[in-house]
């Protein structure tokens, strides 16, 4: 992904031809792009609707088609403005997000996966600029994976942790 540049537009990044130069199995690389879009959409797109300590339900029963990979079904996404803090010299709103029990199905290159994803984290949004100053993601995926040539699916358990922050000087 070194040098990969794009305009962050969730609709565009989910278009069938957006990742045409990526190998079909580059799922984690695609996730980096989609996670960035999610941080900005959650942190900026709903900012004006958030009230301190009041959960806001979003993404209720929404399918996300991941072209050439599969489908992710968001069950019940929640955003919650939980307080203020400082980050990168900015006064920031701290927003928790969470979505649990999300079915995910993948089918590519002869591999299939039936699983459940639970994800959660925090987004720090500058009150002055509305830019994302920092964000975290935690995701646990549990299910079954069947690889080409296997007769039966195998148990799958993946836990990933990530953070997002501005690159200095950019």
Asked if residue 133 lies in contact with residue 90, where contact means CB atoms within 8 angstroms, the answer is yes
Reported as a pLDDT band with limits 50, 70 and 90, residue 68 is confident
The residue with tokens 């997000």 is 97
pTM above 0.95, yes or no: no
Per-residue pLDDT of 89-127, as tens digits, reads 999 999 999 999 999 999 988 899 999 999 999 999 999
User: For residues 96 and 68, what is the distance between their CA atoms, to the nearest angstrom?
Assistant: 31
The token pair at 155 is: 């148990």
What is the structure's pLDDT at 25?
Answer: 80
Gyration radius of the chain's alpha carbons:
17
Domain residue spans of the chain: 10-15+25-164
Q: What is the pLDDT of residue 170?
A: 52
DSSP assignments along 3-69, one per residue = T------HHHHTSTTTTTTS-TT-HHHHHHHHHHHHHHIIIIISGGG-BBTB-EEE-TTEEEEETTT
| Percentage of the chain lying above the pLDDT 90 cut | 69
d(CA 51, CA 66): 32
């Amino acid at each position: 992904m070194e040098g990969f540049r794009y305009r962050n537009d969730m609709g565009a990044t989910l278009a069938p031809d957006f990742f045409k130069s990526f190998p079909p199995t580059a799922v984690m690389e695609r996730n980096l792009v989609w996670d960035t879009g999610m941080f900005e959409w959650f942190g900026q797109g709903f900012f004006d609707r958030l009230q301190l300590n009041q959960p806001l339900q979003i993404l209720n029963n929404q399918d996300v088609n991941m072209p050439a990979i599969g489908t992710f079904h968001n069950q019940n996404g929640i955003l919650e403005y939980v307080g203020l803090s400082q980050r990168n010299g900015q006064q920031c709103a701290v927003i928790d997000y969470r979505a649990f029990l999300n079915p995910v199905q993948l089918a590519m290159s002869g591999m299939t996966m039936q699983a459940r994803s639970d994800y959660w984290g925090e987004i720090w949004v500058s009150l002055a600029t509305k830019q994302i100053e920092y964000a975290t993601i935690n995701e646990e995926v549990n299910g079954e994976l069947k690889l080409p040539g296997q007769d039966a699916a195998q148990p799958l358990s993946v836990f990933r942790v990530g953070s997002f922050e501005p690159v200095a000087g950019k």
